[in-house]
């Protein structure tokens, strides 16, 4: 904890050899634990530590960007430090992925994979990369709950570059994943306006499509699917626009009237 505070509060720091050695030891320990048995709790504790390291570095990266922008410090040194930090962040995420080297679908391994997915959700663009990798892993093709978790955690990374991939899942073959994609997009409130507009365009169109199926009395499955996606879609639309509307028809009207009106977007 003290080390984390020092990393966040210090005006400048470099990753010392001792600090790097301690991480190397933990990386090797992670590999050893995963290759063994009955040590899931130890692995989860290590992964939590990796997340804390990652987040403390994230704070420092913001400080570096600020320093470069307002021309405080030596640019060459700051850029070198930034590169070193980013390299370590990549290693931290890669080491969490070691959890997936276990192949058997046991309760213990599922606990480990779930913990890893939550870790990736705190690891920005490095985390989103591995979340998609897990989502596409064939061993989880029938594990819709876990696939949904991976998609949901992408939103927590605040990696705006993932918006298009999430939008593509809004009409996924399984409604649980589609709902989680909407939940994930609801975390994109601070994304650039153009990104939010692209998301809302698809959300509005699909929301009305789902509603149309839901009102068909002969389509009981359509009604079930609509009940599952309705609230997640509404949350996403509300967060992305700053508006509070409750029906697909209201959202369609709002979009048609304001898709090019920047002042209407909060």
Tokens 């959700």 correspond to 121
Q: Which residues of 14-34 are buried (b: 16+ CB within 10 A; e: fewer)?
A: ebeeeeeeebeebbeebeebb
- Residue 9's pLDDT is 35
Q: What is the pLDDT of residue 107?
A: 94
Distance CA 144, CA 167 (A): 18
Backbone angles phi, psi at 137, to 5 degrees: -65, 130
Per-state percent for the chain, helix, strand, coil, to nearest 5: 75, 0, 25
Q: pTM of the prediction? A: 0.89
**Burial category of 236 from C-beta neighbours within 10 Å (exposed 0-12, middle 13-18, buried 19 and up):** buried
Instruction: Give the model's pLDDT for residue 215.
Output: 83
25: left (phi over 0), alpha (psi -120 to 50) or beta: alpha
Query: What pLDDT score was predicted for residue 19?
Result: 54
Query: Which residue from 236, 228, 234 is spatially nearest to 195, judged by alpha carbons?
Result: 236
Per residue in 119-168, pLDDT (tens digit) is: 999 999 999 999 999 999 999 999 999 999 999 999 999 999 999 999 99
DSSP 124: H
- Dig out the tokens for 149 from the structure: 């978790």
pLDDT of 20 reads 60
Q: Give the rounded distance of the alpha carbon of 104 from its chain centre.
A: 25
Q: Give which of 119, 117, 157 is closest to 134, Cα–Cα.
A: 117
**Residue ranges, the chain, pLDDT below 50:** 1-15
Domains in the chain: boundaries: 1-156, 158-266
C-alpha 220/C-alpha 128 separation (Å) is: 35
Predicted local distance difference test score (pLDDT) of residue 217:
72
pLDDT value at position 214?
82
- Whole-angstrom distance, CA of residue 76 vs CA of residue 131: 33
DSSP-H helix ranges across 157-216 = 163-167, 175-185, 193-214
Output the pLDDT for position 227.
Answer: 95
């Amino acid at each position: 904890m003290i080390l984390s505070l020092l990393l966040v509060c210090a005006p400048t720091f470099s990753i010392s050899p001792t600090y790097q050695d301690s991480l190397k030891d933990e990386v090797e320990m992670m590999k050893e634990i995963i290759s063994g048995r009955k040590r899931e709790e130890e692995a989860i504790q290590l992964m939590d530590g990796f997340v804390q390291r990652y987040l403390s570095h994230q704070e420092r990266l913001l400080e570096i960007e600020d320093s470069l922008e307002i021309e405080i410090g030596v640019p060459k040194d700051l850029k070198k430090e930034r590169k070193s930090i980013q390299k370590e962040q990549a290693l931290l995420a890669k080491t969490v992925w070691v959890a997936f080297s276990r192949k058997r679908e046991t309760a213990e391994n599922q606990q480990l994979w779930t913990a890893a997915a939550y870790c990736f959700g705190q690891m920005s663009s490095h985390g989103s990369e591995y979340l998609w990798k897990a989502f596409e892993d064939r061993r989880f093709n029938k594990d819709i709950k876990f696939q949904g978790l991976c998609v949901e955690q992408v939103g927590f990374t605040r990696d705006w570059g993932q918006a298009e991939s999430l939008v593509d899942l809004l009409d996924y073959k399984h409604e649980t994943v589609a709902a989680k994609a909407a939940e994930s997009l609801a975390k994109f409130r601070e994304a650039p306006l153009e990104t939010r507009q692209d998301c809302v365009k698809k959300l509005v169109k699909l929301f009305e499509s789902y509603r149309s199926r839901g009102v068909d009395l002969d389509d009981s499955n359509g009604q079930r699917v609509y009940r599952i996606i309705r609230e997640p879609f509404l949350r996403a639309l509300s967060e992305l626009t700053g508006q509070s509307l409750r029906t697909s028809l209201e959202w369609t009207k709002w979009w048609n009237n304001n898709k090019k009106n920047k002042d209407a977007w909060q």
